[in-house]
Amino acid sequence: MLPFRLVYHPHYDLHLGPHVFPSQKYRLLRERLLHTKFATEQDFVEPEPATDEDILRVHDPVWVDKLKHGTLSYHEILKLEIPYSRQTMDAFWTAAGGTILAARMALDSGLGFNLGGGFHHAFAGHGEGFCAINDIAVAVRRLQKDAAIRRAMVVDADVHHGNGTAAIFAGDSSVFTLSIHQANNYPTEKPLSSMDIHLPDGTGDQEYLERLQNGLAAALTMFRPELLVYVAGADPYCEDQLGGLSVTFQGLMERDRLVLGRAVRGKIPVAVVLAGGYAENVEDTITIHANTARVAQEVLAVDLRG
């Protein structure tokens, strides 16, 4: 049995049909982890959807009402870049519940792992870039409300800047946001994170890892979180359709070891969410996400032996 549980729900699929965002990847990832015997059925746990009260700790009531009743304007749907459906909204609420559960598990056992989530482009009052609800912020606010934590850090390693997360937590000294991303990529407007690492096009493994290591070390010197939310996007991959970096499979595993290892060694509970991944071959995206789970297992095993 794994030293951590894998949070998953069949409702994670946004049911987008033919779309650059392969939302069937959540089911495929679960199947891969079972097929390779990395995990058993007992290693998976299903979350409850976030409550509306949870969502409203982050999002404006008008936006939540539009999502619940399907009254988004044409412009809002264009900005969201995915079609509206009730199933899609259920997926966002369920993913937020999954990130809350992964964060609670992190506090209990050191690490929680949500196979979904990472919808970092969602702002308080609107959605962007396939993201309607910011599960990262919802989880942080719920745990703060429960007095389980006071201070949190978000380490966002998606290829795209975490603009929604940065905007939601702007001016909030209780949350430190770090985003490492391709500078010349979506979104055009990038609200200031607590720390932004802007990477040039084509950045490869060595520079990526050096910049991340230095940035994370500086962030943890300035700020001591009681929870770290790690946004482990698969899209820095060199063959990603929506990315322009040159990070390899091995480089992404080293990225995961760097972030997860630093958190575990520092006794900082860490919740993992998987975020974007748009490789031409969806199996490459699944491999990257599965590797993140494998690295988490390795890191915890080393910590237990040490």
pLDDT of residue 188: 94
Share of the chain above pLDDT 90, in %: 96
Q: Report yes or no on 256 lying in a domain.
A: yes
Task: Say if 1 falls within a structural domain.
Answer: no
Rounded to an integer, the average pLDDT of 157-161 is 98
pLDDT at 250 over 80: yes
Is residue 281, in this structure, part of any structural domain at all? yes
Instruction: Tell me, yes or no, whether 216 lies in a domain.
Output: yes
Domain presence at residue 175: yes
Q: Which pLDDT does position 303 carry in this prediction?
A: 66
pLDDT band, very low/low/confident/very high, at 84 (cuts 50, 70, 90): very high
| pLDDT at 17 (0 to 100) | 82
Confidence (pLDDT) at 174: 98
Whole-number percent of the chain with pLDDT over 70: 99
Instruction: Using the predicted structure, report yes or no on whether residue 306 has a pLDDT greater than 70.
Output: no
> Tell me: the pLDDT tens digits for 59-72?
999 999 999 999 99
Is 188 inside any structural domain?
A: yes
pLDDT (0 to 100) of residue 1:
82
User: With 90 as the cut, is the pLDDT of residue 191 above it?
Assistant: yes
**Range(s) of the domain holding residue 210:** 6-305
Indicate if the pLDDT at residue 302 is higher than 90: no
CATH for 86: 3.40.800.20
Report the domain count for the chain.
1
pLDDT computed for residue 69 by the predictor:
97
Mean pLDDT over the full length of the chain:
96
Q: Which residue has the tokens 């009402």?
A: 65
Residue 184 has a pLDDT of 97
Position 213 pLDDT exceeds 80: yes
What is the mean predicted confidence (pLDDT) over 132-137?
A: 98
End-to-end CA distance of the chain: 20
